[in-house]
Structure 1
């Protein structure tokens, strides 16, 4: 019988495989990450000769791009329906009850998109409607 005490060694933790796995996960996350972009509507306004306003009344600006997307005061609407446009115009009209509605439509926007804005304004009760243009310089 062997009664000598056994020599036990401390277990070693090998960090190299752990670091390799973390690097692979980091590379995977970097490659699969999506970067959000700010939503903007690209507009080419129609041209007209107009005087500049001297004082700025309260305004609600509705932008319509060539694809028929709407943005109210810079906020892009998720749905492009007249009902969604009416709801958002009601919210904007509560903040500025006697505001002027400015329709800033792209020169290539469909006529129906502009008519939908005017219909939504009528439903809300906004009677002061004007159209934005670019000057011919």
Structure 2
């Protein structure tokens, strides 16, 4: 025979408050310690050259061409890569200074046509100080 004491038995429960606090602290730690480098997302393999000329210039305008043919001027991607849109993007990024140094960092696996289009657009805008970024080749 079971005698009832009138008390409801305690139900065990798991408190999620402390678990949420720990997960929230981990998320904050990861966000604070992560470095955000926009250029690290772009994997570009530069072509190799034997010359050792290094160009040191104050704030050159950088044009990046990745392996898929996407073009980046500074930190901004050019969505339309036709010559007219490319010239407009270059002109707005460079401003009125046509003597500014331009550095083209084209991926070695990209199509040559993308590089030619960028160089042609720069020439039509009047830029004369254009350099191609390369990596040192193997010593002979």
| Bigger radius of gyration among the two | 1
Could you tell me how far apart the structure 1 residues matched to 2:42 and 2:91 are? 22
Alignment of 1:1-137 (within 5 A): 40-49=41-50, 50-53=52-55, 55-94=56-95, 96-136=97-137
TM-score (norm 2): 0.62
TM-score (norm 1): 0.63
Measure how far apart 1:57 and its partner are. 3.5
Measure how far apart 1:42 and its partner are. 2.2
1:5: which partner in 2? none
What are the superposed Cα offsets for residues 45-103 of structure 1, whole Å, 9 maximum, x if unpaired?
Answer: 111242333x4244111111111110001211112222221111101221644211111
Coordinate RMSD, CA, aligned: 2.1
Q: Which runs of 5+ in 2 are unaligned?
A: 1-37
Q: Secondary structure at the match of 1:61?
A: strand
Could you tell me how far apart the structure 1 residues matched to 2:137 and 2:62 are? 21
Could you tell me how far apart the structure 2 residues matched to 1:128 and 1:58 are? 13
